[in-house]
Chains A and B, each alone.
Chain A
């Protein structure tokens, strides 16, 4: 089955760290650029980060310097290392696959809550 499954979301204190994972299956993971998109409860979609097939990385200004995206093609996995977490980072985090100019495959998301 073609799917993406996120994991690693948790409750973390402000200033803490968390590593999200996204496991891909059913398609050639290494052939696709990948993105992380987040959504706070009741709010819209916010782009977080992207990584190309060649490993080039891109970040939203709000997370640059705090978050690191990476991929491990041999394990069909995408990661998001999140440091110096803030209350404003609280959201469901989705990983998604690029298809031309859109994201055609999304995971179900993993919830990150930053609170003391």
Chain B
């Protein structure tokens, strides 16, 4: 079973700053099987990125995903107030099970 480890656990930043979130897999993950989600308090998760780098419909271009193999990154180029929340990476297995990372909380500094 693939384990996804996200870092850092918490990121304290100010609006307008750049956020860099990491997701490391215990085994190689096919890029097309890696997704990122945002979850605001009290809300369901929202798909941001699928296939490691493709933005989901309606997602602003300040969100970008990259990476391959075991190392993936989500970048928020300029934080807006509504971007604060918890971010999860997710791997879509072949069974087809899903594995989620533990999450990175992006909080207002």
Partners in one complex: yes
Residues of A at the B interface (CB closer than 8 Å) are: 33, 35, 37, 44-47, 50, 52, 58, 60, 94, 99-104, 106-109
B88 in contact with A45 (CB, 8 Å): yes
- A102 with B35, Cβ < 8 A, contacts A44-B102, A44-B103, A107-B44 known: yes
Q: Considering residues A44, A58, A102, A104, which has the most beta carbons from chain B within 10 angstroms of its beta carbon?
A: A102
Q: How far, in Å, is B22 (CB) from chain A's closest CB?
A: 16
**Which among B49, B57, B100 is the interface contact of A44 at CB below 8 angstroms?**
B100
Interface SS majority for chain A: strand
- Binary flags per residue of B70-109, CB closer than 8 Å to A gives 1, else 0: 0000000000000000001010100111111111000000
Q: How far, in Å, is A94 (CB) from chain B's closest CB?
A: 6
A35 in contact with B44 (CB, 8 Å): no
- A44 with B88, Cβ < 8 A, contacts A94-B44, A106-B44, A108-B44 known: yes
Q: How far is the CA of A108 from the CA of B43 in the complex (A)?
A: 7
The residues of B that contact A107 with a CB separation of less than 8 Å are 44
Q: How far, in Å, is B83 (CB) from chain A's closest CB?
A: 18
